[in-house]
Amino acid sequence: MILAILQARVSSTRLPGKVLKNIINQPMLLRQIERIRRAGLIDKLIVATSIDQTDNPVEILCKDNDIAYYRGSLDDVLDRFYQAAKPFKADHIVRLTGDCPLTDPALIDDLISYHLHSGYDYISNTLEPTFPDGLDVEVFRCNCLEQAWKEAVLPSQREHVTPFIYQQSDRFKIGNFKNTVDLSRLRWTVDEPADFELISIIYNKLYSANPEFTTNDILALLDSYPVLKTMNTHYERNEGMKKSLDQDLAYLSSTENRNV
């Protein structure tokens, strides 16, 4: 069984409530799920949100739209993922994040297929980025998730779910899925107001003509309006991970002090 887990929360620090912001009269989270559901190799999709009261609207949205969901720890996202996956006894997990409303279902299928036929424990298109930021996909064996859940201690490993796996290439077989053209300079994720403005423009120009618009459709649009390519690219990629790595240093320092 292939289980996709989409992590989503309301309490974003840079753009609070972003997953519920409307794109063509629907919350951004629903727009993303609409695209994920077109991936043919996913057997089950579940939204993993937190037990914090700020995420009550995410639960309501899921209930109203017949979307499976799980509520767990706000900060220990690894535990949230593991507990969400546990009842399904999945063989493989697809990790997606709720700040990527241009998710590419064909790309998801490509990574799942590559994972299933490659023999890797973990693959992604993020370790050496060649796709636009916002088309991120990770696929890994469920037993790797369980090992991470049992053993990971660093804040970055608990918050970002998969670092414990992909940082240990001597223990796990790690693969990176590359695009034929390096498009990593493009930013299609939503963390800042300018990000949401770009995504809204893309949807407004493409969705009415074709609700199933593709990555190639987006690229063609950007070629027609070059200013859109750079309107948000001054923001740093993976800023959240950098903050977590700072927390790792503080954690390691406190551990050393306790052992003195």
Average pLDDT of the residues of the chain: 93
Assign residue 79 the CATH number of its domain: 3.90.550.10
**How many domains is the chain partitioned into structurally?**
1
Cα 148 from Cα 61, distance rounded (Å): 30
Helices (H), the chain: 28-36, 56-64, 77-85, 105-118, 142-151, 155-159, 163-166, 193-206, 215-224, 227-230, 239-259
Residues of the domain holding 233: 2-259
Only one residue has tokens 């799920």, namely 33
| More confident call, 237 vs 50 | 50
* pLDDT for residue 250: 57
Which has the minimum average pLDDT: 172-181, 210-219, 250-259?
A: 250-259
The stretch 133-157 carries a mean pLDDT of: 97
Please return the burial class of 19, using the count of CB atoms within 10 Å of its CB with bins 0-12, 13-18 and 19+: buried
Per residue in 19-48, pLDDT (tens digit) is 999 999 999 999 999 999 999 999 999 999
Phi, psi of 192 (to 5 degrees): -130, 160
pTM reported for the whole predicted model: 0.92
Q: Name residues whose C-beta falls within 8 Å of residue 148's C-beta, 6 or more positions apart in sequence.
A: 78, 82, 157, 161, 162, 164, 165
Sequence letter at residue 179: N
